[in-house]
Amino acid sequence: MWDYTEKVKELFLNPKNVGEIENPDAVGEVGSIACGDALKLTLKIDKDGRIVDAKFKTFGCASAIASSSILTEMIIGKTIDEAAKITNKDIAEQLGGLPEQKMHCSVMGMEALEAAIKNYRGQKIEKMDAGEIVCKCFGVTDTRIRRVIQENNLQNVDQITNYTKAGGGCGSCRDKLEEILKEEIKKREEKGSLQISKPTSKRMTNIEKINKIQEVISKDIRPMLKQDGGDIELIDVDGNKVYVKFTGMCASCVSAAVTVKWVQDKLREFVSENLEVSIEE
C-alpha 144 chain-centroid distance: 13
Rounded Cα–Cα distance for residues 269 and 263 (Å): 10
Catalytic site includes residue 35? yes
Rounded Cα–Cα distance for residues 88 and 71 (Å): 10
Q: What is the largest CA-CA distance in the chain?
A: 69
Nearest to 56 by CA among 79, 78, 76, 39: 39
DSSP one-letter string for 22-37: SS-SEEEEEEEGGGTE
Phi, psi of 256 (to 5 degrees): -55, -35
Residues 111, 116, 121, 127, Cα dihedral to 10°? 50
Catalytic site includes residue 137? no
Which one from 61, 105, 135, 250 is the annotated catalytic residue?
105
Rounded Cα–Cα distance for residues 267 and 105 (Å): 26
83 within 8 A of 113, measured Cβ to Cβ: yes
Rounded Cα–Cα distance for residues 54 and 44 (Å): 6
Which one from 35, 61, 137, 253 is the annotated catalytic residue?
35
Backbone dihedral region for residue 43 (phi beyond 0: left; psi -120 to 50: alpha; all else: beta): beta
Q: What is the 3-state secondary structure (H, E, C) of 52-87?
A: EEEEEEEECCHHHHHHHHHHHHHHCCCEHHHHCCCC
Q: Please give the positions annotated as active site.
A: 35, 105
